[in-house]
Structures are given as C-alpha cells and as structure tokens.
Amino acid sequence: MRILGVDIGGTGMKSGVVDTEKGALDGKRIRVDTPRPATPERVAETLRALIDAQRWEGPVGVGFPAAIHHGVVRTAANVDASFAGLSIADYFSERTGHAVSVLNDADAAGLAEVRFGAARDVRGVVLVATIGTGIGTALFTDGRLLPNTELGHILLDNGVEAERYASEAARVRNKLGWAAWGKRFDRYLKAMEKLFWPDLIVLGGGVSRRHEKFAPFLTTSARVVPARYFNRAGIIGAGIHAEDRGLRTEDRALATLAS
Ligand code: BGC
C-alpha cells in the first residue's frame, strides 16, 4: 500500500510517499521549513501545501513532535503552545481535506526501525532516540511500543534538561565539536541505560548520518547503532502507522458487519 507520510519537526516538515510493504519511500522527499511561529493554522496550511506538492490524493500519516494522548496534543516543547489540547488528527483532516492520522514523531521513527530497520526482529528492550531540535524517544519491548515516552525531557545529573543539553540544536547552538557533543550525548544515554536497561539503542535524526564521528565517545553497555533510515524513519513510520490505523478501522467495520 502507498500512503503519504509527513514528519513534522521543530525546524522542518518532510514528506514522502511510503510503500508500506517495502518500508521505503516511493518517489521524492519534499522538505519545507516549519513555519514560525508554528501555530496550528500555519502548520496545517504548510501540511496542505506539502500534500499538494506531492500531488497526493488519499490518506496521510503524520509524525508530530509532541505527546499525542488518544488523539489530543498534550505537550508543545518545539511547536506553538496553542497546539496543547487540540484533537490534532481531526484538525489536520478538516484543514487539509484528507484523512490524517497522527502519532508522536519519535514513535513514528521507532516503528519504521522496528518493522524494517535497525531493530527489525530484535527481542527485548529497544530504545530509539531521535536527535534533532529536541530529543525524541520510542521504547519497545519485543517489538511492541510503549507510546509517548517523553524521555528527552528528563533532568540529567547536572540538573539540565536532556534535550537542552544534548540535542542537535544544542550542538549547533553551543558550537560543540564531535568529542564535546559526543560526551554530552553519552551522559544522556547512560542516564537512559540506568533507568531502562535497553538491549539495543537506535539513534535517528539527521545527526545519525554522522554516527562514526561521535560513536567513539559512547560508553553504554548496550549496543548503539544508527537508524537504518536516518532522518527518513519518521516519514516511513508515519505512513506505516496510518496504514495500521486504516486496517484496524477496516477490521472494526468487518467485525460490525459480521455481528
Ligand atoms: C517533544 C517530543 C518529540 C521530540 C523530538 C520533544 O521536545 O516533547 O514529543 O518527540 O521533541 O521531536
């Protein structure tokens, strides 16, 4: 099946048509800047423009940088605060005229890596961390997701919020070299290890392409690998999630017909 996936980040909005059987993009990836301020109106407008730019008709899966609890946005660290409390899938569906499903962006990236990527067929506990404007996390056990873990917001032992200290934005903002940033990120992963004891850690986001630059500074006992899909994982996972939801809806419809 083909579904348009869109990964909404604090800095950029990336889209691509996802082949959900292959777990791959089918066609070109189109990126635009996230509007500033990232209000619901402006983000929905940009989403609509992206859908049009992809000449897409049909359902759309979106990864969004916030906790999405039963369809409602609960946090807004890197988007406008007015998103909080919004029934986001309904809102985007109304504004774009497409059936839109929404999940947390890191959960989306994690889904892609667990289904098709670096964590495929891995048993035990897998932590996927996406490094960008913020730090996003997705936690799996035997392939099943515990949704909406917001583990980029924990306070480190220096009292600083992890994503303010060790995100890609922090690396750029503080002009850190790979060693300095790698040590910061290691501090974060060690904190995660102490709390969750993952068997595997998968790193996504643009910086995961530069894995060899900072890998020498990582000292966790868990294996740490770059995402297979780098920063395309969020797009692919958003497409997979939209298909999963569609299938579930179809299942429900069939169950109703059968009863
Ligand atoms: C948000 C998360 C998101 C992460 C990565 C954090 O600031 O709270 O929901 O997954 O950034 O975008």
Q: Structural domain boundaries of the chain? A: 2-105+232-258, 118-227
Nearest CA owner, ligand 1 atom 12: 65
Fold annotation for 118-227: Nucleotidyltransferase; domain 5 (3.30.420)
Per-residue pLDDT of 186-239, as tens digits, reads 999 999 999 999 999 999 998 999 999 999 999 999 999 999 998 899 999 999
pLDDT at residue 55 is higher than 60: yes
Cα 245 to Cα 19: distance, rounded to the nearest angstrom = 16
Which class in CATH covers the domain with range 2-105+232-258?
Answer: alpha beta
Give the atom of ligand 1 at the shortest distance from the alpha carbon of 9: 12
Q: Give yes or no for residue 256 having a pLDDT over 70.
A: no
- Rounded mean pLDDT of the chain? 95
CB of residue 148 inside a 6 A radius of ligand 1: no
Q: What are phi and psi of 99, to 5 degrees?
A: -80, 110
What are the start-end ranges of the H helices in 167-219?
A: 168-173, 178-196, 211-214
Q: pLDDT band for 258, please (50, 70, 90 cuts).
A: low
Mean local confidence (pLDDT), 50-69: 97
Instruction: Give residue 246's pLDDT.
Output: 82
Q: List the residue whose alpha carbon is closest to atom 9 of ligand 1.
A: 66
**Higher per-residue confidence, 9 vs 247:** 9
73 lines ligand 1 (CB under 6 A): no
Does the fold of domain 118-227 match that of domain 2-105+232-258? Answer: yes
For ligand 1, whether the C-beta of 78 sits within 6 Å is yes
Judge if the beta carbon of residue 16 lies within 6 A of ligand 1: no
- As a whole number of angstroms, the longest Cα–Cα distance in the chain is 62
User: Which of the listed residues 150, 154, 231 should we mutate to test ligand 1's pocket, taking the one with most ligand atoms within 8 A of CB?
Assistant: 150
pLDDT value of residue 231: 85
